[in-house]
């Protein structure tokens, strides 16, 4: 597959990793956080951590919109879907996200709620058009990558005069979250983790560009390398980060130049700005309240805003106290540190959000990492025996 | 959730839609967010919408840089 396979060349990745080892100062350690779940997935899947020298470590950040959606928003969506007049359209990723007391959209659907999985906002629009007697609500979720597609659906719904279509908006913003990771009070409570640089979001940046990350580079003196999701992209980004650290630089660099520019997709940004505005504060699962961390519909589109139209309330809901998602999303703990990991909590029976999406840190570790750890343990035992 | 894949545009359709293929599988997607999409272009596809065009020259340049890095200009 063009633009995929050539960035998966394993022997090339090993060679780049050798250069990372050559360049990294053995007297110090390097901690880089990859923000995106897509990177977390690539790192686990291709075993990139095994290629890196021991003093270069990756911290898995919060970057999966499904993983950071607070439980209260799932509960609110379930409550809405249970109303007889409502058809709730949702991306498949959301179906198994646990709400309160073991509930989920999947279980609500089994109990009779009209919940339909869609691949695209276009499908949700089509359902709205085909079934004018239903109230069709699109459960919108995602980072800056996905927001423009919701904006266009709204634009089309207005243009076609679709009075039975509305949006439950859960779009969140990545720069706000990175800032929160670096400076919120919870970070101090959970224990700080040293971060020497960030791998910046790939597809988010196709939309917003690399420019919004300049602030971190300047303000927090952290290098940011925006990188693609293939293994060679990630390993090259790590080399670029190590190089910046050894040069004493903290700049925004773009590894994913084949699809990302400094300013991003301005057409998409304009569509988003037409329909959405900042929320002063929004709860992220694992990060708590993130100031200006999310978007809502502008007041003039209240008729299309499911929260207003159906007077939705977001109940305060608590995560399972044993779930370590909060610390994992901030890079303070690893999936294996959670008591529930792999016992009570598996991809089939997720307790926390990190286990739900395949891009979540726990799911990625479950799918790939735990076997590698076993292999390493066996190797280590053999080595000492 | 934010994963997107490069696909090739095979046919332009009315209303900013296009037929694309990936590994022989074709799909109808929206190109409303990207200007000047042409048949033969590769675009980054996410939840039914093209988000960006892939620049073939920059793609080559990235590979060249990776090969260079692998050979040890880093040391
Ligand atoms: S293993 Fe499950 S319960 Fe533990 S942190 Fe991960 S998602 Fe939460």
Check residue A191 and give its pLDDT.
60
Which CATH number applies to A29-323? 3.40.50.11740
Check residue B74 and give its pLDDT.
44
pTM of the model: 0.90
Nearest Cα of chain A lies from the Cα of B60 at a distance, in angstroms, of 8
Domain ranges of chain A: 29-323, 324-384
Q: What is the b/e burial string over A47-64, where b = at least 16 CB atoms within 10 angstroms of the residue's CB?
A: bbeebbbeebbbbbbbbb
Q: Which of A343, A359, A361, A362 to mutate to test the pocket of ligand 1 (most atoms within 8 A of CB)?
A: A362
Interval B33-74: pLDDT, tens: 999 999 999 999 999 999 999 999 999 999 999 999 998 854
From the list A79, A71, A65, the residue with the least C-alpha distance to A320 is A71
Output the domain CATH number for residue B35: 2.30.30.140
B1 touches chain A (CB under 8 A): yes
**Per-residue model confidence as pLDDT tens for chain A (385 residues):** 889 999 999 899 999 999 999 999 999 999 999 988 889 889 988 999 899 999 999 988 877 888 888 889 999 999 999 999 999 999 998 998 888 888 999 999 999 999 999 999 999 999 999 999 999 999 999 999 999 999 999 999 999 999 999 999 999 999 888 888 777 666 566 666 678 999 999 999 999 999 999 988 888 899 999 999 999 999 999 999 999 999 999 999 999 999 999 999 999 999 999 999 999 999 988 778 888 999 999 999 999 999 999 999 998 877 788 888 878 877 778 898 999 999 999 988 888 878 887 788 899 889 887 766 665 565 556 555 5
Cβ <8 Å between A201 and B4: no
> Chain B window 17-46: which residues touch A at a Cβ cutoff of 8 Å?
22-23, 29-30, 32-35, 42, 44, 46
The answer to whether A95 and A348 have CB atoms below 8 angstroms apart is no
In terms of C-beta distances under 8 Å and separation of at least 24 residues, what long-range contacts does A274-279 make, across chains too? A274/A151, A274/A155, A274/A298, A275/A150, A275/A151, A275/A154, A275/A155, A275/A301, A276/A147, A276/A151, A276/A169, A276/A171, A278/A173
Domain that holds residue B12: 5-71
Number of domains observed in the structure of chain B = 1
- B-chain CB neighbours of A239 within 8 Å are 69, 74
**What spacing in Å lies between the alpha carbon of A335 and ligand 1's midpoint?**
7
Nearest Cα of chain A lies from the Cα of B7 at a distance, in angstroms, of 8
Q: Kindly provide the ipTM of the predicted complex, given to two decimals.
A: 0.93
């Amino acid at each position: 597959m063009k633009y995929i396979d050539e960035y998966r060349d394993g022997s090339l990745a090993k060679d780049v990793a050798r250069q990372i080892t050559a360049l990294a100062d053995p007297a110090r350690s390097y901690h880089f956080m990859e923000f995106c779940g897509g990177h977390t997935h690539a790192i686990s899947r291709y075993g990139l951590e095994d290629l890196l020298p021991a003093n270069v470590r990756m911290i898995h950040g919060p970057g999966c919109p499904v993983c950071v959606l607070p439980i209260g928003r799932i509960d609110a969506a379930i409550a809405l879907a249970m109303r007889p007049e409502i058809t709730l359209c949702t991306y498949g990723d959301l179906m198994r996200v646990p709400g309160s007391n073991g509930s989920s959209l999947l279980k609500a659907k089994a109990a009779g709620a009209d919940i339909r999985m869609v691949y695209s906002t276009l499908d949700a629009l089509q359902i709205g058009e085909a079934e004018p007697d239903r109230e069709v609500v699109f459960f919108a979720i995602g980072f800056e990558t996905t927001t423009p597609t919701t904006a266009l659906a709204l634009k089309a719904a207005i243009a076609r005069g679709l009075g039975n279509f509305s949006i439950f908006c859960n779009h969140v913003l990545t720069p706000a979250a990175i800032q929160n990771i670096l400076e919120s009070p919870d970070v101090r409570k959970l224990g700080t983790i040293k971060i020497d640089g960030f791998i910046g979001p790939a597809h988010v940046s196709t939309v917003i560009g690399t420019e919004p990350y300049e602030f971190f580079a300047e303000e927090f003196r952290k290098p940011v390398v925006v990188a693609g999701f293939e293994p060679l992209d990630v390993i090259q980004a790590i080399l670029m980060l190590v190089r910046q650290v050894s040069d004493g630089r903290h700049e925004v660099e773009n590894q994913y130049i084949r699809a990302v520019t400094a300013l991003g997709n301005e057409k998409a940004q304009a569509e988003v700005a037409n329909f959405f505005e900042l929320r002063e504060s929004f709860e992220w699962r694992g990060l708590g309240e993130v100031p200006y961390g999310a978007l809502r519909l502008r007041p003039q589109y209240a008729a299309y805003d499911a929260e207003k139209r159906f007077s939705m309330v977001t109940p305060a809901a608590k995560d399972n106290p044993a779930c370590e998602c909060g610390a994992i999303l901030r890079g303070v703990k690893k999936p294996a540190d959670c008591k529930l990991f792999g016992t009570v909590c598996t991809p089939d029976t997720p307790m926390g959000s990190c286990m739900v999406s395949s891009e979540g840190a726990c799911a990625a570790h479950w799918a790939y990492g735990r076997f590698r750890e076993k292999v390493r343990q066996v190797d280590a035992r053999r080595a000492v025996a | 959730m934010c994963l997107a894949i490069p696909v090739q545009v095979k046919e332009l359709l009315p209303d900013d839609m296009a037929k694309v293929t990936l590994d022989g599988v074709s799909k109808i997607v929206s190109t409303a967010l990207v200007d000047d999409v042409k048949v033969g272009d590769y675009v980054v596809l996410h939840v039914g919408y093209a988000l960006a065009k892939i620049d073939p020259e920059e793609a080559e340049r990235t590979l060249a840089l990776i090969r260079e890095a692998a050979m040890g200009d880093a040391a």
